């Protein structure tokens, strides 16, 4: 599924060996701008920093460094991948999330900035003691971010059906030496013990099949379908299938008074609100993101 034009894909080199880093940066930035990419300067620096194995903030100190043929080839490959719409986070293999830097790659969703709002809300609702679960954990982003904020850290369990995603979650846990977090394979809340949890967070797949078709290539062609569209969605689904499932599935593992905090699609607020109220949850509310879109469902299990 190449997105570069034929003439571009046949071009053998985006970075000339023997160029300085500053010249390479200008060339890559110009190439990215010509492809109407949103942040050409930031992305050019990010790719160069990754290939040179220096921090992003140190890239300025490398301006006069001459790029060896080996590094030019590696940079070329990285630029070609990016021009083919591959997300830059997959190319550099990492992304920032909340209070940490995660390793990620194909097989798991790239954590989004709006999910950081879910972490803030979840932390504000959590009342210790009591275990926490993060269902649909993916790279473990939410579970690991929460673990980084709580002292002492309670037991946190992350669940996901995808073995590939759980591998990334466990890699992040090992790399960041996160204690008290356990990742389990299973459907939604199935691996969770009844009545043990004070808080359940969830960022389930909530994209409808029709929305999926209009997603940009960097999402649709690279991020896992199962992380975006609920596996059970019918062709005319609104995408909220798993949000509805959680209205039932999250009841048993929560202790009375425990909270579910769940990310939803921007058009799913009224549906989610109604479904949870009708299912008997209390204090149901929909929080908005910084762009004023309905984004996060909060609901409390009756005491
Ligand atoms: C939108 S991603 C969220 C990933 C991560 N929590 C984040 O915020 O970046 C949804 C995740 O749910 C997982 N998933 C899909 N269906 C599931 C199910 N029935 N039970 C548990 N996890 C599921 C996918 O594998 C994917 O990792």
pLDDT confidence of residue 152: 94
- Taking only the tens place, the pLDDT of each residue in 238-254 is 999 999 999 999 999 99
pLDDT confidence of residue 131: 98
Closest by CA position to 182, among listed 144, 130, 150, 151: 144
Tell me which residue has its CA closest to atom 7 in ligand 1. 111
Q: Is the pLDDT of residue 256 over 60?
A: yes
Could you check whether the bond before residue 83 is cis, i.e. omega within 30 degrees of 0? no
Class for the domain spanning 6-84: mainly alpha
Percent share of the chain, pLDDT over 90: 91
CB of 268 within 6 A of ligand 1: the answer is: no
Q: How many angstroms is it from 7 CA to the middle of ligand 1? A: 38
- 145 compared with 17, residue with greater pLDDT: 145
Q: How many angstroms is it from 207 CA to the middle of ligand 1? A: 12
pLDDT confidence of residue 8: 44
Q: How many angstroms is it from 160 CA to the middle of ligand 1? A: 6
Q: Once rounded to an integer, what is the mean pLDDT over residues 215-231?
A: 97
CA angle at 156 for the pair 155 and 157, rounded to the nearest 5°: 120
Q: Is the pLDDT of residue 10 over 90?
A: no
Q: Once rounded to an integer, what is the mean pLDDT over residues 42-57?
A: 95
CB of 161 within 6 A of ligand 1: the answer is: yes
Tell me which residue has its CA closest to atom 2 in ligand 1. 227
Q: Is the pLDDT of residue 1 over 60?
A: no
Q: Is 264:272 a contact under the CB 8 Å cutoff?
A: yes
Alpha-carbon gap, residue 207 to 213, rounded angstroms: 10
Tell me which residue has its CA closest to atom 17 in ligand 1. 161
- Taking only the tens place, the pLDDT of each residue in 181-190 is 999 999 999 9
- Taking only the tens place, the pLDDT of each residue in 75-123 is 999 999 999 999 999 999 999 999 999 999 999 999 999 999 999 999 9
Residue ranges of domains in the chain: 6-84, 96-300
CB of 237 within 6 A of ligand 1: the answer is: no
Atom of ligand 1 nearest to the CA of 202: 6
Atom of ligand 1 nearest to the CA of 112: 9
Q: 149: exposed, middle or buried (C-beta count within 10 Å: 0-12, 13-18, 19+)?
A: middle
Mutate to test the pocket of ligand 1, among 112, 133, 136, 295 (most ligand atoms within 8 A of CB): 136
Relative orientation angle of helices 269-278 and 241-249, to the nearest 10 degrees: 20
Q: How many angstroms is it from 247 CA to the middle of ligand 1? A: 16
Tell me which residue has its CA closest to atom 9 in ligand 1. 111
CB of 265 within 6 A of ligand 1: the answer is: no
pLDDT confidence of residue 3: 46
Match 């009841």 to its residue by tokens: 251
Q: Is the pLDDT of residue 9 over 60?
A: no
Q: Is the pLDDT of residue 291 over 90?
A: no
Tell me which residue has its CA closest to atom 19 in ligand 1. 187
pLDDT confidence of residue 7: 40
CB of 89 within 6 A of ligand 1: the answer is: no
Determine the topology of domain 96-300 in CATH: Rossmann fold (3.40.50)
Q: How many residues does the chain have?
A: 303
State the chain's mean pLDDT as an integer: 94
Mutate to test the pocket of ligand 1, among 107, 109, 166 (most ligand atoms within 8 A of CB): 109
Q: How many angstroms is it from 205 CA to the middle of ligand 1? A: 6
Q: Once rounded to an integer, what is the mean pLDDT over residues 191-217?
A: 97
Atom of ligand 1 nearest to the CA of 206: 1
Q: Is 114:145 a contact under the CB 8 Å cutoff?
A: no
Atom of ligand 1 nearest to the CA of 162: 25
């Amino acid at each position: 599924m190449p997105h570069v034009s034929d003439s571009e894909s046949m071009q053998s080199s985006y970075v000339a060996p023997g160029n300085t880093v500053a010249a390479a940066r200008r060339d890559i930035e110009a190439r990215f701008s010509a492809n109407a990419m949103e942040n050409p300067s930031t992305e050019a620096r990010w790719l160069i920093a990754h290939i040179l194995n220096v921090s992003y903030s140190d890239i300025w100190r490398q301006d006069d460094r001459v790029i060896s043929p080996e590094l030019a080839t590696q940079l070329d490959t990285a630029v070609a991948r990016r021009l083919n719409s591959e997300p830059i986070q997959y190319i550099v293999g990492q992304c920032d999330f909340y209070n940490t830097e995660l390793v990620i790659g194909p097989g798991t969703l790239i954590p989004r900035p709006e999910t950081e709002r879910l972490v803030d809300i979840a932390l504000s609702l959590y009342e210790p003691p009591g275990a926490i679960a993060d269902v649909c954990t993916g790279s473990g982003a939410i579970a690991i971010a929460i673990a980084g904020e709580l002292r002492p850290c309670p037991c946190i369990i992350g669940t996901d059906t995808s073995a590939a995603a759980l591998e990334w979650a466990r890699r992040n846990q090992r790399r960041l030496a996160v204690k008290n977090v356990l990742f389990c394979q299973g459907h939604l809340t199935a691996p969770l013990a009844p009545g043990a949890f004070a808080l359940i967070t969830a960022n389930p797949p909530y994209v409808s099949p029709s929305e999926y078709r209009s997603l940009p290539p960097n999402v649709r062609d690279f991020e896992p379908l199962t992380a975006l569209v609920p596996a059970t969605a019918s062709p005319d689904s609104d995408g909220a299938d798993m949000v509805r499932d959680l209205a039932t599935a999250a009841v048993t593992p929560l202790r009375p008074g425990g909270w579910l905090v769940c990310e939803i699609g921007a058009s799913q607020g009224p549906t989610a609100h109604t479904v949870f109220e009708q299912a008997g949850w209390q204090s149901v509310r929909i929080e908005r993101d910084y762009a004023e879109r309905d984004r996060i469902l909060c609901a409390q299990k009756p005491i």
